[in-house]
């Protein structure tokens, strides 16, 4: 009688885990697909026969009492603890071997997520807004409540797989009998059949419907910001849990204000005389009418900053600023009286024939040109 403990290289009091570990190591070494050397196939069969006996508690007990319970030819099927799963685990890992023995696939599965574009005006991103949005999505079928069956009927256990969702087949090879498992083709791995599908949802357990979702948009969102509504997406097959809805913000351009980060910018046209003499102008903003105080001698491209009148800071509170760019308007044409007054003013200032002076390269003209080219 062969010494199976010596063949596997383990002690007689070795644990089942130690026996399995030793077998896997030797099986990898002598498997014919890995080692084509002389005697490797015979050695692999010998190792497999030893593992067949020692991995089964009853056969190991018989062997320890002095009898060899292994069948002639080293059969590896029957009631022993060795089969296709052991070989599969040896070469592909225990996780995959275990997956081949899984039960039926649940019919109910999670629904998909949805992505919806949300167009907002600048004013809505400044302060935040509550919007009601209609979306087309999948909801639980009210006729069958997600069971997929016609009312009064119920799923039937699959006759082919007996409700296991998988079918097993035994094949003979030089290793002996090898058992394989695969999803049942009759029930598609669900383990049950729908003999009478629901007429409303055609056995899907869900139907298409239009729903109204309420979304609270926080202040400070910008183009590309995504807002998630958990569990508001489409219901999964067979009434499975719903997915999520993501709203992706797109901010519409505003006619008067331009956004840069959380600050707002606008241009205020001011008559030349008002800029020279100074004045107070009323400016319509998102916060109502605000006063813009211009000091005497205000120059073109001067910027007046109104603190806290910009866009709300997302998540952290507070707001950006509103920057008012002053555009001094020079009259294109004057009547004789106005022309005479301007000539008198030029004479008083000694500017009848002013000297041309170039501004620095980082001056206002180049700044405006740079802004134009960069799209700001």
Annotated binding site: 141, 144, 158, 161, 184, 187, 198, 201
Binding residues for Zn(2+): 141, 144, 158, 161, 184, 187, 198, 201
- Residue 308: both structure tokens together: 């806290």
How, if at all, do strands 156-157 and 129-140 pair?
unpaired
- CA dihedral in degrees (295, 297, 300, 305; nearest 10)? -20
Cβ neighbors of 319 (< 8 A, separation 6 or more) are 126, 219, 262, 308, 309, 310, 311, 312, 313
Cα–Cα dist 176/84, whole Å: 10
Using an 8 Å Cβ cutoff, are 238 and 107 in contact?
Answer: yes
The closest alpha carbon to 85, from 183, 177, 179, 182, belongs to 179
Cβ neighbors of 236 (< 8 A, separation 6 or more) are 108, 109, 110, 111, 112, 206, 242, 243
Length of the chain: 376
Using an 8 Å Cβ cutoff, are 117 and 108 in contact?
Answer: no
CA angle, residues 73, 78, 80, in degrees to nearest 5: 90
Cα–Cα dist 184/157, whole Å: 12
How, if at all, do strands 192-193 and 156-157 pair?
antiparallel
């Amino acid at each position: 009688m062969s010494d199976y403990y010596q063949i596997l290289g383990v002690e007689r009091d070795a644990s089942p885990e130690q026996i399995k570990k030793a077998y896997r190591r030797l099986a990898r070494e002598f498997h014919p697909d890995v080692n084509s050397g002389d005697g490797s196939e015979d050695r692999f069969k010998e190792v497999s026969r030893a593992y067949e006996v020692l991995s089964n508690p009853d056969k190991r007990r018989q062997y320890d009492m002095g009898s060899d319970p292994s069948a002639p030819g080293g059969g590896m099927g029957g009631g022993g603890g060795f089969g296709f799963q052991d070989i599969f685990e040896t070469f592909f890992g225990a996780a995959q071997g275990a997956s081949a023995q899984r039960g039926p696939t649940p019919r109910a599965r999670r629904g998909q997520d949805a992505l919806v574009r949300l167009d907002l005006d600048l004013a809505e991103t400044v302060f935040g807004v509550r919007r009601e949005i209609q979306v087309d999505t999948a909801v639980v079928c009210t006729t069958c409540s997600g069971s997929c069956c016609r009312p009064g009927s119920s799923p039937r256990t699959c006759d082919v797989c007996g409700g296991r969702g998988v079918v097993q087949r035994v094949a003979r090879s030089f290793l002996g009998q090898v058992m394989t498992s695969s999803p049942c083709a009759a029930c598609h791995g669900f383990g049950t059949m729908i003999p009478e599908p629901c007429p409303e949802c055609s056995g899907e357990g869900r139907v298409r419907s239009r729903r109204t979702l309420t979304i609270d948009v926080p202040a400070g969102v910008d183009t590309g910001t995504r807002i998630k509504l958990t569990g508001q997406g489409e219901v999964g097959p067979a009434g499975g849990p719903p997915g999520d809805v993501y709203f992706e913000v797109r901010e519409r351009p505003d006619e008067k204000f331009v956004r840069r980060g959380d600050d707002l910018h606008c241009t205020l046209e001011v008559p030349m005389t008002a800029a020279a003499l100074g004045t107070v102008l009323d400016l319509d903003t998102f916060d109502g009418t605000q006063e813009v105080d211009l000091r005497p001698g205000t120059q073109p491209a001067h910027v007046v900053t109104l603190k806290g009148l910009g866009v709300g800071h997302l998540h952290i509170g507070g707001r950006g600023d509103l920057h008012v760019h002053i555009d001094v308007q020079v009259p294109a044409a004057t009547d004789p009286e106005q022309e005479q007054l301007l000539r008198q003013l030029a004479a008083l200032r000694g500017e009848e024939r002013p000297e041309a002076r170039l501004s620095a390269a980082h001056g206002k003209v180049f700044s405006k040109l740079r802004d134009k080219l960069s799209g700001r």
